[in-house]
Amino acid sequence: MSNVTVSVIIPFYDHVDWLIEAVDSVFAQTFTDFEVIVINDGSTEDISVFLEKYEHKIIYKWKENGGPGSARNFGIELAKGKYIAFLDSDDLWFEEKIAIQVDFMEKNDYMWSHTKFEHFWENSAKRNVINNKYACEIVFIKSLVSLKLATPSLMVKKDVFNEDSTLRFSEDMRYGQDSFLYIKIAYQFPLGLVEEVLTSVRMRGSNAAFKARIRLQVRSNIWDYLRMNNKEFFGKRKVNWLIRFIYKIYKYSNYIVDIFGNKLPNSVKLIELLSKFFCILPYTIEKIYYVLFLRNIKEFKKD
């Protein structure tokens, strides 16, 4: 596998101490044929201690702040590897992560894959392994409902990005930009799963995925995107009425919460509470539908 190279893309904005830990976990890999691309997304933090340690070992670029999606896309354009792996600056890899995942993709000819992963908390021995065993093979419909895929566990063949310039992280959304990419890649390619825990995702108190307001906004934006690309996504791959109904609830709920948000711009806690109320119905339907019908579904490839 001497001809196989991996480009590791790490967007950074804050917590240089965590960035050092993340990059340390890359250089501790048993697989050594990689390049590390760190994109500073307009951070005002002093990172001199990081640069002193790694500036001559990595590709380091600074850009105006545009969110993690734009930082990752910048990294994709710079990447030279056969495979691209994404690592957030606050997360960590097990030392055999790259070696095992590259070997898995080479042997099975997957265009993209991910690994099992765990959540961990600062100053705590607690570890929570996420059950994502159903997030594999043809997952387009699952990606619209529940796809337990952590971006730091993701590896994508560079050809995927070279052959289709639209397959990029959304730069219009501060949150949920990775969901757009998952949906678009899942429409075209089966997803491989390495059934070993090789990625550790740091849990912060502000993890966006657990905020109801963010969930409403992300689901609403995804629905707008799907409708704009109606022929592509509602054509050969049939999206049933229930999924459409769920997204419509999110869309209209987000609209209502936006109205309150404009009238009460300083009531963040109240808006979050209101968002939780509006999330109850669509979220409950999602969970029931996934567990009873979608989890074990065998989706069909497009014609």
In tens, the pLDDT along 212-268 reads 999 999 999 889 888 887 666 665 566 888 999 999 999 999 999 999 888 877 788
* Mean pLDDT lowest among 94-103, 120-129, 153-162, 199-208: 199-208
Kindly indicate the confidence band of residue 301, based on its pLDDT and cuts at 50, 70 and 90.
very low
* pLDDT at position 302 over 50: no
Using alpha carbons, list the distances in angstroms from residue 96 to 27, 121, 183: 11, 22, 28
Contact 162, 77 (CB under 8 A): no
- The set of residues, in sequence order, having a beta carbon less than 8 Å from that of 37 and lying 6+ positions away, is 7, 8, 9, 10, 58, 59, 61, 75, 78, 79
* Beta pairing partners, 201: 119
**H-run or E-run covering 144:** helix 140-145
Q: Could you tell me which residue, 8 or 187, shows the higher pLDDT?
A: 8
Report the pLDDT averaged over residues 118-147: 92
Contact 6, 33 (CB under 8 A): yes
Every domain of the chain with CATH number 3.90.550.10 lies at 6-206
Kindly indicate the confidence band of residue 4, based on its pLDDT and cuts at 50, 70 and 90.
low
C-alpha 22/C-alpha 258 separation (Å) is 37
Q: Could you tell me which residue, 288 or 225, shows the higher pLDDT?
A: 288
Beta-carbon count within 10 A of 45 CB: 14
DSSP E strand stretches across the chain? 6-12, 34-41, 59-63, 83-86, 92-93, 112-121, 127-129, 155-157, 191-203
Contact 5, 35 (CB under 8 A): yes
C-alpha 102/C-alpha 97 separation (Å) is 9
Is 6-206 in CATH node 3.90.550.10? yes
The position carrying tokens 């567990």 is 291
Kindly indicate the confidence band of residue 3, based on its pLDDT and cuts at 50, 70 and 90.
low
* pLDDT at position 193 over 60: yes
C-alpha 191/C-alpha 156 separation (Å) is 10
Strands 34-41 and 59-63: parallel
pTM of the model: 0.90
* Beta pairing partners, 200: 92, 118
**Which tokens go with 239?**
């999206």
Contact 116, 195 (CB under 8 A): yes
**Which tokens go with 143?**
């990606």
Selection from 17, 301, 288, 290 nearest residue 138 by Cα? 301
